Structure 1
Amino acid sequence: MKKIIYILILTACSTLIAYLYVLSNDGFGKGDVAPFAVYTLILSTISLLLIRLYNKAFERVHFVVGFILSVVFTTIQTVIFVLLLWFVFGPWIGAISFPFQIIWIVGVGLANLYLLTTSESKFNIRHLLFVFGIVGISILTIKLVDRGKDALAEQQNFDIICLVHRPADTKQSSVEDLIRFGLTDVEASTILEQNLTGTFWTDKFFRVSESKMISTDYLNYDFDEMEETPGSDIEFMFGNKLDSTINLNSNKLIIIMNHPLKESFELDEPLNSSLILIQDLNGDNFKEIHLGEDKNSKKITIKGTDFRAFPYSTPILLDLKERGEFRLHGFQWMNK
């Protein structure tokens, strides 16, 4: 019976955490939850081979040492889980859209605490509740700190322009070529001063006003009431049409990319000014050109490109004041 409960705790807790993580990210990665649950069930069944070893170790030491051992065993067991998954799927495990390593640490940790509590060790329910209490207080403290930071952040008002750069030695863009994307003379000149040859292209932009997404294509869409207009979340995610009739905000985040991104890039959000990001021709670094000195306390993350579906997508993650994170469909690629 103990073995069945062990499997249930590890599998159910890990799957539930993965599901909640996906839910908090607007459903991104929901297709990975079911396979993840199957992998976890298989690996938790293999872990039954370790139960006797764990029980013997817990019985022979002081309950405090037993708790420390459970943490050590959890770490080692999670590493084994990841290695086994790597041997089966190879680099493709990197395509899983949520942090499965951390999720497994929590799931395995809870299952091993169950073993510790039900073993011959003097670690009992009272100690278990104490551990849960400390963890709960720590999580609550982190949440309160995050809310405090959110409250201190300034309201967000800017447009995001995602420019695809196609390098070419034989072609030199002009200021007029960039102005047609809604950039000012200063912004266009600053970009061309970086010796970027080739062409630029985009047909959309994203607008953030008073820390909420705005749709200029569908004026009746309200970001705070997306459930009232089905499909509006897709419109906010994929952005607004950009043409000569659109007057862009004077404060902009201009992101220029020329190839897919392997590793995520995080930056400080500009405040009441524009910021130009230019991706290196090789690698995952960006050159930051600030057209103002002030910065908000919020972060913007350009996520690593998702290669699981074609065409490939490079998302942008915003942390909106009082509204949490929202994922934008920033760039789209035909080649890796």
Structure 2
Amino acid sequence: MKKFLFLIIPTILLFNSCESKVEKVIPAFYYWKSDSYFSDKEKEITDEQNIQKMYVKFFEVDYSDALGNFPIAKTNFSANNYCNDNKFEYEIIPTVYLKNIVFKKSTKAELVQLADDVNFLINKYTKERLDSLEIKEFQMDCDWTESTKDNYFYFLKELKKVSSKSLSCTLRLYPYKYPDKMGVPPVDKATLMCYNLINPLENSAKNSILDLDELKSYLSGKQNYPLHLDVALPLYSWSQLYQNNQFQKIIYTGKEFQKSMKKIKPLWYEVTKDTAIDYETYLKVGDKIKYEEIDANTINKAISILKNELRMDKEITVSLFHLDENQLSNYSNEEISSFYSSFTK
């Protein structure tokens, strides 16, 4: 028995030494707003957190039978946000959100044209608004499905070819767990999006932004995914508005509207006073609101799960979604800093 233990202990030590441990984190944010300038507070956050990368949504791509594939929701992000005394403060990664319908409807020839158009628009935007900043990487963001993966992957190959850039994409947890079914995208690396785990309309009792049990269920097993994986975590809240028990819309707002509501169960509120949220949203007495937010404790628990269950390289980028003064007011500077540093501890 002693001889057996003598033989097995070195094997255990060797196995443990092969476990991945993150040694360096590159701090990053997603910038998903249309504003041209950071607020003073947002600029302060990027400085204090020593942000090194900013994934900026340049535009989205949608489809209609009349127009085919077309760009929408362009941002006004400008050089003033990243340039200080003519010095670049962090790397800009142009990010494009492509709706899944684009890959349901497009032919191969249309996908070749789409790759050319996306490359052209990114370069045009960079020249006009970012002082011809040198761009090293493009990131594509798409919730592809099993039926659209071939078209999406074909587009990625064409974009890589025409752009000659490093190419990354976002990766949801379902395709991460089931690569045999969902395929592995032909990119240089992927960002694992650790949020929006549950369809907001399917489970009224769970937080659809980030549910820890759901996160762990997708990560269990420490599989060897064949791409370098970076990580994205959610720092935002939203509300789902229901009128006559029918879902109406998502509202991005803070807790201030709860003054005109009463809590009826976990996550759920009922409107007790008619309230105008903005020019487009009017809450009426009896409307129901499901308010979902992510506190620092939940983020820290999610990081612990990722460290235990996800194989990561020694150097990774950790991105927080997203840079917004109102959303980030729920977290202290120390808490935000810890969301980056905890991966190396």
The TM-score normalised by the length of structure 2 is 0.25
- Structure 1 or 2, whichever has the larger Rg, is 1
- Identify the structure with the greater helix proportion: 1
Q: Which has the higher contact order (CA 8 A, sep 6+)?
A: 2
The TM-score normalised by the length of structure 1 is 0.26
- Identify the structure with the greater strand proportion: 2
